[in-house]
């Protein structure tokens, strides 16, 4: 049985035609199911907890990358299969996973190619699929309890990646159980162009300490997390329906 979770932004009139096409295609493919249209996040958690006790085999997120991450973080049992129908003009997660946008994603859902995907985890509180971003001013970073990185001064920017497109926007980092850490430093001098330098590392676990709470950006949603912060690949994998490529 399929259980469809619609983000509340899809109630806007401009998405009416897109939703009609998606629902028509799902009916044609014989994979329509129960639909929950959400208004607030607490409603989402209540509905998921109730429905997971029923004969739900697949949860399908209809929305954007932010919706997908919110749902993943609210599922107590990650053994459920997750499908994704992106109703957005831009979805890094869909691109990485080979999932088309809008109604074309229904075909991917129907074929049901299921892959176990690494999930990043922050302090056993939040899951993430792609990247975390944070300011890197005056941080102490430890990778695998083995090597230490002191990030000092200002104009430092930290990106921690689980799965991500690389610079040519085609090849992806492998699903290899490793976290990728990138430290970007921007050197600014008067009357000269800013100079960027990058340092890159890989680790199974990254620990971050700072003397203040850190705002961390996870798919357009900011979380304020008090150090110490531990970031690692979760032992649990995400069962995600992906595209052929």
How much is the pLDDT for 173? 55
The last residue of one of the domains, among 82, 111, 140, is: 111
Q: 96 and 50, same structural domain?
A: yes
How much is the pLDDT for 89? 92
Could you give the residue ranges of the DSSP H alpha helices within the chain?
16-29, 41-51, 65-74, 92-97, 105-111
Average pLDDT across the chain, whole number: 87
- The number of folded domains in the chain is 2
Q: 104 and 147, same structural domain?
A: no
Least confident of 56-60, 105-109, 150-154, 240-244: 150-154
Q: Is 158 among the domain residues?
A: yes
Q: Is 240 among the domain residues?
A: no
| 210 within 8 A of 139, measured Cβ to Cβ | yes
Rounded to 5 degrees, φ, ψ at 143 are -105, 120
| Measured CA distances, 69 to 37, 64, 74, 229 (Å) | 17, 9, 9, 19
The C-alpha atoms of residue 112 and residue 172 are separated, in whole angstroms, by 21
How much is the pLDDT for 53? 64
How much is the pLDDT for 212? 85
| 98 within 8 A of 92, measured Cβ to Cβ | no
User: What residue numbers bound the domain in which 229 lies?
Assistant: 121-234
- Looking at the predicted structure, is the pLDDT value of residue 183 above 70? yes
Q: 142 and 209, same structural domain?
A: yes
pLDDT grade for 174, boundaries at 50, 70 and 90: low
Q: 139 and 191, same structural domain?
A: yes
The last residue of one of the domains, among 42, 76, 111, is: 111
- CATH number, domain of 153, equals 2.60.200.40
Least confident of 65-74, 153-162, 171-180: 171-180
Q: Is 242 among the domain residues?
A: no
């Amino acid at each position: 049985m399929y259980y469809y979770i619609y983000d509340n932004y899809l109630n806007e009139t401009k998405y009416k035609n897109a939703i009609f096409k998606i629902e028509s295609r799902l009916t044609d493919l014989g994979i329509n199911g129960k639909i929950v249209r959400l208004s607030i996040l607490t409603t989402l958690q209540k509905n998921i907890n109730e429905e997971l006790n029923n004969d739900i085999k697949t949860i399908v997120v209809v929305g954007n990358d932010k919706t997908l991450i919110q749902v993943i973080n609210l599922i107590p049992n990650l053994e459920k299969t997750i499908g994704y129908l992106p109703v957005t003009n831009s979805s890094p997660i869909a691109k990485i996973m080979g999932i088309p946008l809008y109604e074309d994603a229904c075909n991917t859902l129907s074929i049901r190619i299921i892959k176990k995907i690494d999930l990043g985890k922050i302090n056993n509180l939040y899951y993430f699929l792609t990247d975390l971003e944070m300011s890197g001013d005056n941080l102490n970073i430890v990778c695998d309890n083995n090597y230490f990185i002191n990030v000092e001064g200002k104009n430092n920017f930290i990106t921690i990646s689980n799965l991500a497109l690389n610079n040519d926007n085609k090849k992806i980092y492998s699903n290899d159980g490793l976290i990728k850490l990138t430290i970007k430093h921007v050197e600014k001098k008067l009357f000269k162009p800013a100079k960027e330098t990058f340092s890159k590392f890989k680790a199974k676990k990254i620990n971050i300490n700072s003397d203040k709470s850190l705002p961390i950006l996870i798919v357009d949603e900011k979380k304020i997390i008090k150090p110490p912060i531990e970031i690692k690949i979760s032992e649990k994998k995400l069962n995600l329906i992906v595209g052929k490529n």
